[in-house]
Amino acid sequence: QQFLEAQEQIIKAYIRKEAANHNLNDTRTPREKRPFIGVMFPGKSTNEIIIQRQLNLDEDIFLKDHVLGGKVSVTDEKLLALAVVPFTMSIEMLAEAAAEMIPEKVLVEIKNIKANRWITLRDNKIELEMVAKLNANNQVYVFIREAESEKASFLLPIIEGTVIFADAYPKPIETNTFS
């Protein structure tokens, strides 16, 4: 019991310290903090931006760890199976695109996420378009679609969701002691 109480105190102290020091020691630029942001263009209105980003296996090497089918060739190490973007990375892309709309706020929630298919890299690359639309109450609706397709604007988004921002992070939920 004492161990659990001590553990709880340590974790709460750590969380309070991290919340108080959030971003104070981080010297990265906003662009360095958002590696999925590519070239930005204005959207159809002042409340919209369009971001184009090519994912490819030569630069985004983490994707080599996310292939379906494993090792394809014994003689050619460069030949890979179908690379897919993990769902969590897709959500990160939504968050980064939304953060470009409200850079002075902090992200507190992502909701209404809908994935219609995987993001797959055919020929080891894919050109994506992220469209972020600022709505009321610090909410940004974001969707990702393929940019290469001539019919891209008519296709279902690959993934979409609503990202919510606030002036500050909410206070941590008080927990009961472990028993």
* Location of structure tokens 């008080």: 174
pTM of the model: 0.75
Give the pLDDT band of residue 71 (cuts 50, 70, 90).
confident
pLDDT at 153 over 90: no
Longest CA–CA span in the chain (Å) reads 64
Residue 25 pLDDT greater than 60, yes or no? no
For the chain, the distance separating the N- and C-terminal CA atoms, rounded to the nearest angstrom, is 7
Query: 88-105, pLDDT tens digit by residue?
Result: 999 999 999 999 999 889
CA 141 to chain centre: 13
CA angle 107, 114, 98 (to 5 degrees): 30
Kindly state the helix (H) or strand (E) to which residue 9 belongs, with its residue range.
helix 2-20
What is the pLDDT at residue 114? 96
The CA radius of gyration of the chain, in Å to the nearest whole number, is 20
